[in-house]
Structure 1
Amino acid sequence: MMFNEEFESLPRPALEALQLKRLQATVARVHASVPFYRQALAKAGIGPTDIKSLADLARLPFTLKQDMRDSYPYGLFATPLDDIVRIHASSGTTGKPTVVGYTRKDIDTWSELMARSFAAAGVHRGDIIHNAYGYGLFTGGLGAHYGAERLGASVIPMSGGNTKKQIMIMKDFGSTVLTCTPSYSLFMAEAAREEGIDFRGLKLQVGIFGAEPWSEAMRGEIEEKLNLCAIDIYGLSEIMGPGVAIECREAKKGLHIWEDHFIPEIIDPESGEVLPEGEKGELVITTITKEGIPLIRYRTRDITSITYEPCACGRTHARIARMTGRSDDMLIVRGVNVFPSQIESILMGIEGVEPHYQLIVERKENLDTLEVQVEVNEGLFSDEIKHLQALAHHIEKEIKDLLGVTCKARLVEPQTIARSEGKAKRVIDNRQLG
């Protein structure tokens, strides 16, 4: 089932003609209204009237996450704040978030694309969607919520946490669709087992999981333990939020990216050169309908490949493969973006801590855990245990308050963390994600 068959099944020539028209309008718009882009385009030696074909996209400059940080909070907005009806944000490496704004039309577009995504996953009017994505500055909860309502389904706005109540609500309310992170779904399964509840007795049919990396093996485990069809969804707040791309239930072979609103490219992360279809590289996305904060060639840092092969579902939009990693050092822990440099900036502001640390990521009982190992100076390490415990708690609180991620701080003796002559190995990720 398609939500908007006219656009979801556009013949390729018509889809590309629409993309070109919308790309030309977007470049003209940001050139006229965003000083950052006016300067970047001038530096690249290209103007709005130079976009004659989709091939000219490769001539446009990239936009980086750092550009968004440097423009904090509203520097990349292409419309007056009077026209912005929603503001979301994600974490940034300096403690300041990257900020995105939505006009009423942007919210309408987002709602449609999430409705399309739900429909692609086999969800329809009459379903009861249990939405356990977080509500707030994080885009997941509200993105799924608006899409569910646009589709005409019933939505239960649970948000995250309070797992026993989540299970009770799903059981009592007859939920047929679950939306949350994949790791949280498995945590729910374990909690249900402890309560003596079998997911086979629930009415769940579909699970739509995203916001963190997960593997095919994990999909199998989720489908077995929750007795549903597990679908992969992709999005990022800078581009829109959830619903940028999703697997269709018919094929489950790659995620359809809605090309009438986004133009995807795959580039070599080192050279920036565009790679041919099928080759693995970094995903770059250009928004071509956003009003609030249009982005030209945004480097997502996510590693994937793309195919334009026809899909059994009838949708003509390209498909991107499951993300296999990143071209930077960002971690995703329980749906929260964490950069080692963020942790470092916090640690360096705490007295007694040495500039040597390591982040250990594990997956225990199907949930991600983050341990921050940090060296303390000789004098402090010989201090009383209660003082060391207080310091560890202080580090944990600072990281939680500033980054929104729970961690366990472990203080170690000086010279304990291995040194490297090259790039320091800051992260040990022991999760099995491949």
Structure 2
Amino acid sequence: MIWQPEIECMEQAALRDLQSQRLVKLVQWVNDRVPFYQAAFQQKGLTPSDIKTIDDIQRLPFTKKTDLRDNYPFKLFAVPMSEIAEIHASSGTTGNPTVVAYTKNDIKIWGEVMARALASAGATKDDIVQNAYGYGLFTGGLGVHYGCLELGAAVVPVSSGATKRQLKLMEDFGSTVITCTPSYALFMAEEAVEMGLDPKKFKLKVGIYGAEPWTHNMRKEIEARWDVKAIDIYGLSEIIGPGVAIECVEGQDGLHLFSDHFYPEIIKPGTDLPAQAGETGELVLTTLTKEGIPLIRYRTGDIVSMIEGTCPNCGRTSPRISKVRGRTDDMLIIRGVNVFPSQIESVLLQIEEAEPHYLLVVNRVGSLDQLEVQVEVNEKIFSDEVKQLETLRKRIQKEIESTLNIVVSVKLVEPRTIERSMGKAVRVIDNRELYQ
């Protein structure tokens, strides 16, 4: 189902006209209201009248996460506090948290794009959506909630954690849609089996998973364990929260980005230069319609590629982005080679004896970086002879080294010894900073 076909299937020329109108209005809006952008435009020698079409966007300055933290808490707000309806913030584990704000109209738009997203995944007003994203300062829970209200679906605001209760409610309520992180979906499947439940016998038809990068192989693992369609959703708090882009259930081939609200660009990582068509790079987004804290050319740090043109599976005309391949800030550079956790995950999920839980530990020995990959194996293989475990360890090591083109060490660990997370999974421990 397409929630807003007049927008989601809009002709390209009409879409670009709409984007141009909204960009012109946005630039004037922030120039009049946000000193940060006034100064940034002046530094570039720009005035709002210089921006006439969406093609002029490349003349505008970038915005970075550090800009939000440097202007903590409210200096990037474009409206007075009397017009702010809701405030969210990151955890702020390093420095000030990232604060974002919504006007009533922003909340309306959020509900609208999330309703589009839910419909793209196949949800309807007849569904029961079990929302296992966290409610609170994290945007995941409330974003999905607003979308369910707009769509008309019944939402169960269970939030994250309390897994046994999650499973009981899922079974008793007959939930048909689950929203959570992909790593938590696998964890719930493990818990269900331990409780004597068969995940395939739940009434779930689709799972909408996001908030962390995950691979196609993890999709297969989730779909096999739960007997559901596993749909990737993308969003980030700085832009609006969940609801920036999502796969269509018809194709699961690229995430439709709602570019009437969020204009995308791809730039070459580590540069300010645009990537070539179809080339992988860093996703940059501009909030064309947001009022509370609009952002111009925000560098997301997410590594994707983009496909233009009409989707052959569902008919939407919005651009599609690939699944997130990694982040510029979680990309590890090991002896000059770029390494993304998702590359290793993809290898492990093709090895039957390995569980989809792993940890990358980076150390510096002398002047040389060393990568250790800790891999959980299943109960059956872990009880086998030492010789068989060593054969498996060498096979995993060979496959990872073939993918990464660097030497790694592999350590097999007992089932359920790598810490699970109710939210985003922790995949990397980089100890090199200890030696700096």
TM-score (norm 2): 0.77
2:397 maps to which residue? none
For residue 326 of structure 1, what is the aligned residue in structure 2?
327
How far does the alpha carbon of each residue in 1:82-112 deviate from its partner, in whole angstroms, 9 at most, with x for none?
0001000113453421000000000000001
Residue aligning to 1:251: 251
SS in 1 for 2:85: strand
* 1:16-165 pair list within 5 angstroms: 16-92=16-92, 94-165=94-165
Unaligned 5+ segments in structure 2 are 333-347, 365-422
* One-letter code aligned to 1:218: M
Q: Indicate conservation of the 8 Å contact 1:187/1:366, yes or no.
A: no
Change over 3 Å in CA distance of 1:17–1:425 after alignment to 2: farther
Look up the SS of the partner of 2:156 in the other structure: strand
What are structure 1's unaligned runs of at least 5 residues?
332-361, 375-403, 411-416, 427-434
Q: Aligned equivalents of 1:257 and 1:133: distance in 2?
A: 21
SS at match of 2:231: strand
- C-alpha distance in 2, partners of 1:50/1:61? 13
Comparing 305-314 and 237-246, the one that deviates more: 305-314
| Residue aligned with 1:138, SS | coil
Equivalent residue of 1:179, what SS?
Answer: strand
Match of 1:389 in 2: none
| CA distance 1:150–1:406, shift in 2 (3 Å) | closer
Q: Percent identity?
A: 56
Question: Partner of 1:273: helix, strand, or coil?
Answer: coil
- Equivalent residue, structure 2, for 1:301: 301
Question: Secondary structure of 1:57's partner?
Answer: helix
Counterpart AA for 1:166: Q
AA aligned opposite 1:325: G
1:238 alignment partner in structure 2 = 238
User: CA distance change for structure 1 residues 256 and 22 in 2, over 3 Å: closer, same or farther?
Assistant: same
Report the number of matched residues: 357
Regions of 4+ moved over 6 Å: 362-365, 368-374, 404-408
Deviations 1:268-300 (A, max 9, x none): 123311123201110000000000000000000
- Secondary structure of the corresponding residue to residue 40 of structure 1: helix
- Shift of residue 149, structure 1, vs aligned partner: 1.3
Output the CA distance in 2 between the equivalents of 1:68 and 1:121: 32
Residue of structure 2 in register with 1:272 after alignment: 272
Aligned-partner residue type, residue 194 of structure 1: E
Secondary structure of the residue aligned to 1:284 is strand
The alpha-carbon deviation at position 326 of structure 1 amounts to 1.5
Q: Could you say if the C-alpha distance between residues 289 and 204 of structure 1 is closer, same or farther in structure 2, counting changes exceeding 3 Å? A: same
Kindly state the Cα deviation for residue 369 of structure 1 after the two structures are TM-superposed.
6.5
Deviation at 1:309, TM superposition (A): 2.5
Q: Which residue of 1 aligns with 2:288?
A: 288
Contact 1:277 1:306 in 2 (8 A): yes
Distance 1:371 1:271 in 2: 28
C-alpha RMSD of the superposition: 2.6
Aligned to 1:314: 315
Q: What secondary structure does 1:233 align onto?
A: strand
- State the Cα distance separating 1:47 from its structure 2 match: 1.3
**Residues 121-172 of structure 1 deviation map (CA, whole Å, 9 limit, x = unaligned):** 1111110001000010000001001101110000000111111111110000
Amino acid at match of 1:322: K
In the alignment, is the contact (CA less than 8 A) between 2:363 and 2:431 conserved in 1? no
Q: Distance in 2 between matches of 1:144 and 1:239?
A: 15
Equivalent residue of 1:310, what SS?
coil
Amino acid at match of 1:258: F
* Residues 211 and 424 in structure 2, CA contact (< 8 A), matched pair in contact too: no
Alpha-carbon distance between aligned partners in 2 of 1:271 and 1:162, rounded to the nearest angstrom: 43
Shift of 1:366: 5.0
SS of 1:265 mapped into structure 2: strand
| 2-structure distance, mates of 1:163, 1:233 | 22
Alignment correspondent of 2:261: 261
